[in-house]
Chains A and B, each alone.
Chain A
C-alpha cells in the first residue's frame, strides 16, 4: 500500500522535523490539513469560522441547527432506509440512534457508490478532515463514468440551509454533503451559493470533515489507481522529438540559488501592499541574469513555502531553520512543493487568457498538473490532450460564479480557456514535466483526418506534440498516487509506478549509494561539475551554498568560493561536514582546494559578531569574576562586563537598558553650557560622555543633598547629580564622530544651547574658526546716499547698518582724501546714538528687517511723508489639489502715500494710496525689498 505524503515525510524527516514541515506546507494542498488542523485544535478552527461545535470532533449532531428538516430526513433516510417518521424531533432522534448503531452504519457503508466510498476513503486517509478541493481532484482523476451509481448530478434541495452551486467539481461531493456524510467547515464555503463576490480574495473555508463514527466504518484502502487515458499516439518518429525539457533537479537548484541571493541581499523589502519591491527584484536579476525567466516564480515560492519570515512589517528574511528542514526533504518532494505553490498570476487582461473563467489559479494549476498523470507514455497531439482533459477534468477549475453574488450557470458548451494551453506549454514545460515539440508538415499530414475532425485551426500544417518528460517521474515520486495504463491491459488491482515507465527510478535519488560518488567533480580551479542525473539530495545539499555558473541539460557548473564556504558555515554547517559531503559525492578533493577551504573557514574565526546579547556591567573586575561562576554560557568581556545570550534569572539586576527600544533622554544642558545626567544612562551615552566630556569640578551638584531614587532596586543615583563639560581637546584631536554625535543627540532632553552646538561644530571642524580684525568704520546719517558716490564707494566694504560701512583695509587715508576733495572731513569718533530712522533719502534702503521697516513706515505716516517702495505684490498660488496659499507675485516700484499699518494675523501690512488718489491697496511689509522715506 503506498504511503501517504505525510507518512513519507515522517519517514524522511523524523517526527520532529515533519511537524515543522507540516506547518510550512499546510497551505500547499500537499498535506492533509487534518494534521495541521489537529495541531491547531479543532475548537479553534470551528470557533474561528463561527461553527456551532466546540468539541474536538465535528459530528452530524453539531450541525442539526444548520439544517432544515428536509435535509435531516435525507440524512436519516441514508442512515436508516427503513425510516418512517417525518417530524424534526423524531428524525433527529433516529439519526442519533443510527450513528450509534454499528449495524446501521455498516449497512449504510455497504450501500455507498464506488465514488462515494472512494471519497470517504480518501478523507479517511487524510484523517477525517481535508480540503474539499483535494477530495474533488482525487475523485475526478479516477474514471467513474462506467459506474452508473456514481453518476453525479446537482442537488436541488437546500444543504445546510443554502443552495449548492451547479459546478462539475462541487457535483462530485454534492450528495455526500446533502446526506451529512461530508460536513463542511462552514456554509460560507465556495460550493454554497450564499457566497459573496467580495469574499473572493479571502481564504475560503473549504475544509471538509467526516463524522468520526461514520469514518470508523469506512474500510481503509489504498487509493484507486489512476487509469491512463487512451489517447491516439502522435504519428511521429521518436527521433524527431526534441528532448529540450530541462532537468527537474534544475528547479531545486534554482530555488537554492535564489535563497542564497536573498540571504546575501539581507532579505527582501516589501511594498505596503505586500509585494516584493521592484528594486529588490531588479537587484536579484542583475546578480543572476540567467535566472530572470523564473526568478519571480521562485521568489513567490519562497513566500508560499514559508521559507521567508518577517523581520519587520515591510522586510522579510530567509527563515534558515525552515530552509534547513526543507532541504531535508527528498528532491522529488521539493520539486513537487515548488510546483504546488499557489503563485499569484498578474495579468492585466485576464479575459484574454481565460483567467477570469477560473475559480482560482492555484486550483486550476493543481488540476492541470495532476491530470498529466493520466496521459499515456507515448507522444500525443496537444489538441487531443486539451480537448480530452478539459471535458473530463479541467472543468473542475472552472469559475463557480462570475460577477457580484451571481451563480454562474453556463448555457452552452464552453471551450477550454487559453490559460490551460499556455500554462501547459510554457510553465509546465519549463519545469520539465512535459516536452512540447512542433512536428513538421509531412509527419502531421498523416494525422490530417483527425485534425480536420477536431476543427483544428492549425489544420494539416505543423502540430504540437506533447510527451511526458523526466519531470513527471519526479512529480510522481513526490506524490502517493499510482495508476494503471489501460492501453497495456493489466490487472486493475496492480499498482504501476509511472516513474518506471518514463525514466530511471527517481527513488534512487532518495537513497544515496556508492554509485553516486561521481555526482560531483571538483576541479582544482574550484569549479564543481554536477551531473544532474546523478544528483542525490545529499549532493544537492552540498551544492546548495555554491554559486551556479552554468546549467545545461546534463551538467551544472558551480563555483566554490570563499563566499560560498562562508555561507555554508553561517548556515550551521561545520568545515568537517562540508569536507565530508564534498568527498562523499565526488571522486576526490584536490589538495589546494582542501587547503583553501580550511583557510577560508579559519578566516571566519578571526572576527565574531555576537548579536542580540545581554551585557552585564559590574562595578569592578572582582565583582564580575565573582558573578561569572553563577552564569551559564557566560563570557567575560573587557574588565567589568559579562556577555550572556539571555538575561540571567539567577542574578539580581539593579537597573537595565534595552537597546531595541528608543533611548531615554537623560542628558540635559544647563545655561552655562555644561550638562548633567537626569538618571541612569546607557552605554551609548556613557561612552560619549567618558570619551568626550569631563566632570565639571567647579560646580557643586544641585541635588547632592537629596538624591533621586529613580532606579528599581533603590540604588541612589548620585550619578544624576554629576555635571560635565565637553572636553574640547579630545573632540578636536580625535574628532567627535557623527555616530557619537547622533548617539549623544538622541539622548539629550530639550535642546543643546546654540553656543554649545556652534562650539561642537567648530571643534569637529565642520565650521571654520572665528576671525577678529581691527577695522575702520565710515558713519553718517545718510551713509547710503554717500556710499552711492563712485569715488567714495570704491573705498567702502560691507554695510554694517544703514548708517555705517566698513572701510576697506588700508583705504582710510584714500577715503579721507576723497572726502576732502569733496569738501567733507572725517571725524575720528563714532556717534553711538546715530540711528537709521534719521535717514531720509530718495535712495531706497535695502535689506531692512520687517520690524525696522514697519517702524519707519509708522513714523512716515505720523509725519505725513511719502514713501518710495520696491515691493512684491501678494497673490494667491493655487495647487493642483484646489488648495491655495499666499505667495509673492510681480515686483513693482512706486511712490505711494502710506495711510495705515495693520496686521492680518501676525503679518504686518501697509495700507497705501497712490499720489493720484487711486484706490487704497495693501502691501505686505515683508515683501518690501527696498524702502525710501521721502
Chain B
C-alpha cells in the first residue's frame, strides 16, 4: 500500500512538503520500536583504544534532515536492506557495495537524494 502511494506521489507534479509516502512510513515507524526519540544505535564494540584513529575508506553515509525520515528508511522494505547501521538519529552507514542499489531504491520510493 505504502509503495503504491509512494509511486503515485513521485509522479505527481505538485509535491507537498511532506509526501503521503513518508507520512505513511513515518507513522509506521513511530509506532514501531525504532523511533526518533530513542533510536537504537549500535555501539560498534569493540571500541578503539584511547588515542587510536581508525580510518574507514570508501564508505557511503546517509544523512537526513529529519530523524523521523531516517526511522522510516530503516524500516522500509526496499531501502533498509542497504543500510548497514544507524550512526546517529539522522545519519546511517550504507552497506559496502550497496550505494547504487540504495540510490535506486531511494528514487523508486520517491526520495530525491542529494549525492555528494
Contacts and interface: CB of A to CB of B under 8 A. Distances in A.
Contacts of A653: 53-55
Nearest to A607: B113
A51 interface: no
Interface in B1-49: 10, 13-17, 33, 40-49
Nearest to B102: A609
Contacts of A647: 55, 57
A718 B50 CA distance: 13
**Most chain B CB neighbours (cut-off 10 Å) among A608, A652, A722:** A608
Contacts of A607: 62-65, 69, 106, 111-114
A561 interface: yes
Interface in A719-736: 719, 722, 733-734
A611 B80 CA distance: 17
A715 B63 contact: no
Interface string A599-615: 11011111111111111
Nearest to A663: B96
Interface stretch (A355-363, A618-626, A777-785): A618-626
B100 A266 contact: yes
Interface in A668-713: 677, 680-684, 686-687, 689-691, 695
A221 B113 CA distance: 55
A654 B48 contact: yes
B44 A739 contact: no
Given A609-B62, A610-B61, A570 B93 contact: no
A654 B52 contact: yes
A643 interface: yes
A659 B54 contact: no
B16 to A, nearest CB: 8
Contacts of A652: 53
B93 to A, nearest CB: 6
**Most chain A CB neighbours (cut-off 10 Å) among B46, B54, B61:** B54
Given A607-B64, A660-B96, A739 B82 contact: yes
A743 B56 contact: no
A526 interface: yes
Contacts of B66: 606
A312 to B, nearest CB: 11
A869 interface: no
A656 B15 contact: no
Contact of A609 (B45, B47, B116): B116
B60 A638 contact: no
A372 interface: no
**Most chain B CB neighbours (cut-off 10 Å) among A623, A638, A715:** A638
Contacts of B45: 686, 689-690, 695
Interface residues of B, number: 61
A659 B94 CA distance: 11
Given A653-B53, A659-B59, A638 B88 contact: yes
A603 B52 contact: no
A687 B10 contact: no
Interface in B53-105: 53-66, 69, 80-85, 87-88, 91, 93-97, 99-100, 102-104
A612 B69 CA distance: 22
Given A607-B106, A607-B113, A690-B42, A616 B82 contact: no
A609 B102 CA distance: 10
B17 A599 contact: yes
A566 B114 CA distance: 9
B85 A615 contact: no
Nearest to A567: B112
Contacts of B33: 733-734
B6 to A, nearest CB: 13
A186 B62 CA distance: 55
A894 B111 CA distance: 71
B97 to A, nearest CB: 8
Contact of A613 (B41, B59, B87): B59
A281 to B, nearest CB: 19
B52 A655 contact: yes
15 contacts: A562-B13, A562-B15, A596-B13, A599-B17, A600-B15, A605-B65, A605-B114, A608-B64, A609-B60, A609-B103, A609-B114, A615-B59, A618-B48, A623-B50, A683-B93
List the 7 closest A-B pairs by CB distance, nearest first: A687-B85, A719-B46, A638-B88, A656-B55, A638-B87, A659-B96, A660-B58
Interface of B: 10, 13-17, 33, 40-66, 69, 80-85, 87-88, 91, 93-97, 99-100, 102-104, 106, 111-116
Given A596-B13, A607-B106, A690-B42, 20 more contacts: A266-B100, A562-B112, A599-B14, A599-B16, A604-B112, A607-B114, A608-B62, A608-B116, A615-B56, A616-B55, A618-B48, A619-B49, A641-B87, A653-B55, A656-B57, A657-B55, A659-B58, A677-B46, A691-B85, A734-B40
